[in-house]
């Protein structure tokens, strides 16, 4: 039996193999990326380096370099998903390095932004909103879009968050919660974390947190948030305890620390104060309600929202 080395030598020496090899080499060297690399490094690269680095050059040419048509990193066809090859010279040899592609960087930025938003019981579509997505179909929405952009712009220019947030009130379904999500996402791109809370569900959770001894931890988490967004205040059923010990504590802390707070409600200031005056038993305490409203007014500027009901139009 003929030794395997002899068989391999015959294959290597055959004209067919040589022709295929030469054709492959020509295709590699005709690649625009390879030609640009060789032109940029013509003082260092020689024929011997090219011959020795042909495998690396082949690795480079066999992958995608333009991510414009790529839908996601998951669908990336490169050897390392989300990374593009780049030719380099390492210790007098041609090598391939991999760097994150534009699509991967964008997806990583989105994930990082999403991690900056902590939410409790909020719809996913709200948390994906952006200021550009706001429906500008009447004057109130033009106004709120401009004010939201001004809030973000002030932070960009000064490096400090404005002390006052917004009190957005209006009819059911006009997009108040959507505005909160849009502002939260915009702030997230600037590395500012927002805590977005659906008030009725949050207060119900606070009651159950007494038993598992997590109440104080959750209150601290909310009240100390860099930016707090309370959605649908006024839709909850209040007890004296949730009003005074939960809402009152949160509002007082944020007012004292001048932490920006955003609130949405179907109720205006006066209607909310009336709502806060009554507990679930029907007892009325205007003094306690007034104290909380003082803090709400100190923390927010009122903006009425109107327009088409977004939920009915879907």
Query: How much is the pLDDT for 1?
Result: 43
Is pLDDT larger for residue 254 or for residue 170?
254
Please state whether the predicted TM-score (pTM) of the whole model is above 0.85: no
What is the 3 state secondary structure string of the chain?
CCCHHHHHHHHHHCHHHHHHHHHHHHHHHCCHHHHHHHHHCCCCCCHHHHHHCHHHHHHHHCCCCCCCCCCCHHHCCCCCCCEEEEEEEECCEEEEEEEECHHHHHHHHHHHHHHCEEEECCCHHHHCCCHHHCCCCCHHHHHHHHHHHHHHHHHHHHCCCCCCEEEEEECCCCCHHHHHHHHHHHHHCCCCCEEEEEHHHHHHHHHHHCCCCCHHHHHHHHHCCCEEEEECCCCCCCCHHHHHHHHHHHHHHHHHHCCCEEEEECCCHHHHHHHHHECCCCCECHHHHHHHHHHHHHHEEEEEECCCCCCCCC
Is pLDDT larger for residue 313 or for residue 52?
52
Query: How much is the pLDDT for 139?
Result: 67
Domains of the chain are 4-104 (no CATH), 116-305 (3.40.50.300)
183-192 pLDDT, tens digit per residue, is: 998 898 888 9
52-101 pLDDT, tens digit per residue, is: 988 999 888 888 877 666 778 888 888 888 888 999 999 899 999 998 88
Q: In the predicted model, what is the mean pLDDT of residues 5-26?
A: 68
Using pLDDT thresholds of 50, 70 and 90, give the confidence band for residue 14: low
Query: How much is the pLDDT for 259?
Result: 97
Query: How much is the pLDDT for 4?
Result: 46
Is pLDDT larger for residue 16 or for residue 277?
277
194-222 pLDDT, tens digit per residue, is: 999 999 988 988 888 888 788 898 899 99
Query: How much is the pLDDT for 210?
Result: 81
224-264 pLDDT, tens digit per residue, is: 999 999 999 999 988 999 999 999 999 999 999 999 999 99
Using pLDDT thresholds of 50, 70 and 90, give the confidence band for residue 110: confident
């Amino acid at each position: 039996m003929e030794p395997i080395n002899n068989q391999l030598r015959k294959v290597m020496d055959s004209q067919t193999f040589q022709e295929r090899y030469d054709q492959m080499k020509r295709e590699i060297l005709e690649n625009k990326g390879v030609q640009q690399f060789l032109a940029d490094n013509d003082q260092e690269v020689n024929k011997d380096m090219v011959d020795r680095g042909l495998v690396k050059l082949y690795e480079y040419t066999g992958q995608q370099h333009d991510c414009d048509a790529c839908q996601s990193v998951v669908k990336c066809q490169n050897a390392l998903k989300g990374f593009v090859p780049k030719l380099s010279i390492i210790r007098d040899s041609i090598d391939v390095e991999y760097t994150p592609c534009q699509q991967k960087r964008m997806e990583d930025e989105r994930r990082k932004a999403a991690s900056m938003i902590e939410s409790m019981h909020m719809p996913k579509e709200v948390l994906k909103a952006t200021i550009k997505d706001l429906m500008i179909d009447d004057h109130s929405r033009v106004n709120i879009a401009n004010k939201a952009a001004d809030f973000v712009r002030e932070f960009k220019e000064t490096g400090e968050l404005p002390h006052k947030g917004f009190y957005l009130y209006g009819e059911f379904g006009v997009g108040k919660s959507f505005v909160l999500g849009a502002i939260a996402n915009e702030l997230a791109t600037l590395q500012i974390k927002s805590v977005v809370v659906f008030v009725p569900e949050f207060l119900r959770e606070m009651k159950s947190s007494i038993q598992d001894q997590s109440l104080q931890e959750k209150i601290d988490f909310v009240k100390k948030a860099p930016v707090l967004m309370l959605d649908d205040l006024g839709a909850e059923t209040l007890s004296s305890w949730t009003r005074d010990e939960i809402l009152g504590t949160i509002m007082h802390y944020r007012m004292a620390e001048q932490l920006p707070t955003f609130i949405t409600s179907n109720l205006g200031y006066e209607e909310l104060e009336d709502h806060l005056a009554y507990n679930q038993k029907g007892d009325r305490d205007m003094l306690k309600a007034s104290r909380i409203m003082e803090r709400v007014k100190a923390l927010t500027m009122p903006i009425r929202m109107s327009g088409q009901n977004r939920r009915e139009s879907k």
